Structures are given as C-alpha cells and as structure tokens.
Structure 1
Amino acid sequence: MMRESWSIVQMVNAERIVVLGWGRAILAQLAHPLVAAGVAEHSSFACDTWSALRRFRATVDAMRALTFGPPQAARAAAARIIRTHARVQGRLREPSGRFPAGTRYSAHDPALLAWVHTTTVEAMIAAYERFVRVLTPEERDRYCQEASAMEFWLGRPSGYLPRSWGEIEEKITRARQDGTLVVTPLTRQLADSVLSPPHPWWLAPSVRFWRWLTIGLLPDWLRAAYDLTWSARDDERFERCLGAIRWIWSRLPAIVRTWPEARSAQSGALPPEGMTRVGVPR
C-alpha cells in the first residue's frame, strides 16, 4: 500500500499497468498533423520489432527516472529528452487540415509540447481509472498540477502546461473543434504501427490483444476519427475484461504491480516539495 505522503503522480505512475494507456495517448498525439510529421520523419519505432521495443523501453526508463529517480537521474533523463527534441524539426510536405504545406514544426514548439503533455496526462489518468481505481476530482486536479513540473525539467517557463483536469478537457475539446486535429493517410499509417507494431509470428496473439485493448481504451471521438470499428458486443466484452484485470491486479503483490524504483522511493526519501516529477512518452 502506498504511503499517504506520496504524491499523486508517484501513486499513479508506480503502477506498471498504466503504460497500457500510452496507445491512447500516442493516437491522440498523432492526430495533430505537426506531431505526425515529426514522428514520421524522425522516429524509427515503426521500422521493426526491436526498434519499437527499444523506443518503448527508453520511454519507460525516462518516466521511471523522472518520477522516482534521484535528482541526477531525473536531470539525465530530461537532458536526453531535450537532445532528442532538438533533432525533431522540419516542414510539412503536404497540407494537413488547417496547416498548409511548408508549415514548420519543432519538438521544442511550446504548443506541441503542451499537446503531447496534455494527451499523456489524460491517458495516464484514464488508464489508472480503468485498471486500478477511479480518482476523485481533487486527485485528478492534483495529478495535473504535479505533472506540470515537467516545465522545470524541460526548461520551459511556468504556466504553459495545464494545471487542472478541467484545463486538460478544455484543451482537447478546443483542438477537436478548431480544426487542429485531422487524421490523414500518414496518420493512419503511423497509427497502424502503434496498434499492430512489427512483431515475430509468436507474438501475434499478444499484438492482437494490445490492438483490441487500445481501441477499447480510446474515447469515442478518437475511435471515430480513425474509423476504428467497435461494436456494442465489443464494449460488453471489454468491460468484462477490465473487470477481470482489475480483480487480478488488485490481488497481485507490490513486486509485480509496481516499478522497482517506486518500491525503493517508497521506503526512502521523497523528492523535495515542488519537485514532483512525471514522465512523458516520446
């Protein structure tokens, strides 16, 4: 059981199972044409099985270091993210939604960083609530507030990341309504690589389950944007599956449920006040 003095970010991120929500976050991020262009031209995750696994492992390691690691580990993880972002820049080759061809993109763009952060936080909370327990409105707001500490680690001025669940929802709704988000053929191609990553034949059952679980975790609007089929029967099966996962997960020992760094941090010193950390999938 987590210590009451733990931050809400540490409590949520400690659960290994919340990484299953990252598919939801990535599909929401790819719906932004500038994010999709950056991923298509500067990421190798869709190349083969090992590239996908290396990228996933690097992202998990960064999250663990930023959330639970000592300051030097968090600084090193943040530095790696900043170096990676520095390489991700270019121009749209074709018009996408309201963005004309030639529009510049950069992973250092505050608006794009805020979109990636927003969708990541939203997906982490959604996954925790589906697999572990429902958070109170106050806990949701605290998670958003604490997660905004990424401004410090990425060297950004205070105030550009959302600090409440209401701001998260408002930002996503505004992006949907103002034409920012559009699912293009490129986006669908990248999404296919997320839902069905390259894999050897013996991993096919796991990949099919990952695809089905990720589609089930998507909000209705995102599922519709990608034209992903989801029936009422799928919904019933999905809810039964979630119920089974929650029941099993709640009975597993901490050594299985939580990251090693989380267990070490739980028994050791907590980060200084105001220095709570949260990782961001790249």
Structure 2
Amino acid sequence: MVRGLADMGAEGILLAGAGRAILMQLADPAVGHGVAEHSTFTERPVNRLRGTLTYVYAIVYGTDEQVKEVRRRVNRAHAPVRRAPDETSAGYSAFDAHAQLWVVATLYDTAVTVFEKIYGPFDDGTADEMYRDYAKLGTALQLPEELWPADRAAFRRYWDERVQALRADDAAVRVGRGLLYPGSAALWYRAVMPFARFLTAGLLPDQLRRDFGLPWSPGHDRRFHLTMRGLAVFYPRLPRRIRHWFKDYCLAGLAADLGH
C-alpha cells in the first residue's frame, strides 16, 4: 500500500487532476484575479505546471538547498501579485494565508480524488498521514500551521462550504478557457488537451463544470468512469521509473540549476 505524501506524491497519475486543481484555484477570486492580472499562465502553461510541481517535489523529496531555492522562486514570483481593494475589486495578495490555504486544499483534495480512483480508498492511518503531510506544502510558505484544518473531518467541512459557494467569474473563466483551449501552445500540448479536458470535466464539481463551459452528459459520465477503471487496471502495473518519471525530471532540472 502506498503510504503518505512521501510515497504517493511522486506518482505521475496525479497529473490527471492538474486541470481540476487549477480551475478550482482560479474560481477563488483572490487567486483567479491575481493570475489573470499578473501571470502568463495561458501563454506558458507547461512551464507554470513544471514550476508548481517542482515546488511540490522539492518540499517532499528535496534537499535543504533545494527547498530553500523553490521557496525563494515562489516568493519572488508572488511578490508583485497584489492589488489594494477598490470600488471594482476586493483586492488580493499572493501572500494571503487564506488564498494559500485554498491552493493547498485543492492540491490535497484532487490528489485524494485521483488516487482513490486508481488504488481504492485509503485506510484511516494512511489517510491521516497524507493529510498531515499536505499541510507542509503551505506551511513552507506563509500558511500558518493553525490555519490548516485540524483533521480530515474539519477539512471536509471547510471544503464542502467553500465548494458550495464557489463560482468562476469572468476573469477565472477567461484564464481557464485559455488554458483548456490553447491557441499557440506546442503541438503535443494541443494534441493531449482533448483528453485532459475530458478528465478535468469528469473530476470537477457540476457547478464549475458549467461555469467553465465544459460539456457533460450521461454518455460523458459513463466514458469517464470506464476510463478511470481502465487506468486503475493499467497504471499500477507500469514500472516505477515510468510512474515517477516527471518527479525525477523536475528534480534533475532543479539540481542542474543549482549546479549539481
């Protein structure tokens, strides 16, 4: 059995949930408006995804030097992402602890959602360990430890309340649609996007699926569940070096940047 973030975090299948986590982050105005006004996400989606996952991999698997480096990179990128409240906006800051809580929450909930579809439900010990481990992704930045919900039950209450009220506004939809329907990305990226959109739509809550204009029907739903069952048979049988390839790739690039 895979145990904790230190075991599951390297699994490439978690990339299947990347679109879901990103769109849910964008639907929070404190995150979505910052991305819309300060990010080149839709112009360089692969670079942004690699940067985010390099941070995750370094926090979980990296050396002290690598952790220090990814924290420096993230804080440098976040520094200009701020706007004071005015008559048109409630304002935002990438250093806001509640915004960081939401980002980590989407990563955690998406990881659990995808992983359990492939490997089945966690036992309580594994689930608790993974939950505690995920807090480290935020507390390595500006998320105070006490802001992370105390246990999985508290997290579920927080999550359900947030998702129930979550709506993607025009800024979020504009960025999300640019990500889902790239016009100038590399050919390989555009080639995989129909399947990525399908997985993203299948993993999203109904309301956000509608907000981002992702078509869904009973037929889509049947194909999605068949796809996940097929992945549950196929993916765990892949060699570890393939399942963990992207983690190894990102950390190798980070090591090269540091001259190692």
Instruction: Please tell me the TM-score bracket, short chain as reference.
Output: 0.7 to 0.9
In 2: Cα distance, 1:170 partner to 1:205 partner: 38
Distance 1:202 1:151 in 2: 32
For residues 255 and 145 of structure 1, the distance between their equivalents in structure 2, rounded to whole angstroms, comes to 26
Aligned to 1:183: 168
1:75 matched to 2:64 = no
Residues 248, 34 of structure 1: alpha-carbon distance in 2 compared, 3 angstrom cutoff: same
Q: Confirm whether residue 55 of structure 1 aligns to residue 51 of structure 2.
A: no
**Counterpart code for 1:69:** G
Given the alignment of the two structures, is residue 235 of structure 1 paired with residue 221 of structure 2, yes or no? Answer: yes
State the partner residue of 1:279: none
Distance 2:124 2:19 in 1: 24
Unpaired runs of 5+ residues, structure 1, are 94-99, 263-282
Specify the alignment match of 1:89 in structure 2.
82
What does 1:133-282 correspond to in 2, within 5 Å?
A: 133-177=120-164, 179=165, 181-198=166-183, 199-201=185-187, 203-259=189-245
Task: Provide the rounded CA distance (Å) in 2 between the counterparts of 1:204 and 1:147.
Answer: 31
Normalising by structure 2, we get a TM-score of 0.85
- Percent sequence identity over aligned pairs: 29
Q: In structure 2, what is the Cα distance between the partners aligned to 1:205 and 1:101?
A: 38
The equivalent of 1:15 in structure 2 is 11
Contact 1:34 1:92 (8 Å CA) reproduced:
no
Deviation at 1:39?
A: 0.3
Q: Give, in whole Å, the separation in 1 of the partners of 2:82 and 2:25.
A: 16
Shift in Å, 1:155: 4.6
Note the C-alpha offset of 1:219: 2.7
- The structure with the largest helix share of the pair is 2
SS of residue in 2 equivalent to 1:14: coil
Number of matched pairs: 248
Given that 1:183 and 1:226 are in contact with CA atoms closer than 8 Å, whether structure 2 keeps it comes out as: yes
Which residue is 1:36 aligned to? Answer: 32
Q: 1:235–1:158: structure 2 CA closer, same or farther, 3 Å change rule?
A: same
- The answer as to whether partners of 1:69 and 1:261 remain within 8 angstroms in 2 is no
Q: Distance in 1 between matches of 2:64 and 2:120?
A: 30
Q: Deviation string for 1:12-33 (max 9, x for gaps)?
A: 1020110221211111111111
Please report the RMSD computed on the Cα atoms of aligned residues, expressed in angstroms. Answer: 2.5
SS in 2 for 1:87: coil
Q: TM-score, normalised by structure 1?
A: 0.79
Amino acid at match of 1:187: A
- For residue 228 of structure 1, report the CA deviation from its aligned partner: 2.9
Counterpart secondary structure, 2:214: coil
Aligned-partner SS, 1:149:
helix
